[in-house]
Structure 1
């Protein structure tokens, strides 16, 4: 991925410090998949329009298929693989399992990452807000109802966890 024009790019990936030589044209999606061998973010459209490549950059949703890798220098990048803690799924992942919010799984990365970003900002969104947040993620399998229910379930799971921790 590096050329003579490469620069050292340092960032945290799923909680761990990493560094790469990134050329100005290197895309974050290519770095995540080809260098770090992560398979959560997917190549979908290459135009930031389908959501399959979504990651969190400093807690905000970003489309890795159009984001230059050098732009994440100093940032915290979280992929689908970085959500779980060991064998314990993140509440959003758990909710998608419980509510069967995935069919083929291609859109799943974008749906889960977008739901995480939404729930971090807005812990109890209503259905209209969930739909609005997910509107830029394309699902061709027709599991929209299950996806909405998954996000609602995730909000409940996260609220219950907050109650336990604040005891």
Structure 2
């Protein structure tokens, strides 16, 4: 067999527990990330790295506070105060920067656009309506575009056995990303 010939790799179907809201949202969010990055938008993990760093600092402070053998006094007050401060900082980052974001990206390579995307999703509890939003990572940038979104029932993308019909979902997400890119061209 010729080494340059590639045989198509059979992928396992993506399956979610249709009775579990988090399973459905997680599978859809994971698929959105695959779709957007496959369209040339490299993932920006800087915010995730900052969150990990702050989380590591919080853990280190907690370990020092727990195992440092010293009388209760100013050291413990400083430890707990610092612990609380870093937790507040972490929560502020989550609530102000991340919100419902599932993906932050850089602009596509070779693009004249200077801002990436923020892709957000919502799937309210006890609802089948999934909302996907694409907006600029830097809304104040001159190359920022108006946000676009759709809200659709997840029943359109899943078979009865919980398998995601990837082709249908791919088309919807790809159309949304294309609408975001097209919106800017109209405003010129």
Same fold (TM over 0.5): no
**TM superposition score normalised by structure 1:** 0.28
**Structure with greater helix percent:** 2
User: Which structure is larger by alpha-carbon Rg, 1 or 2?
Assistant: 2
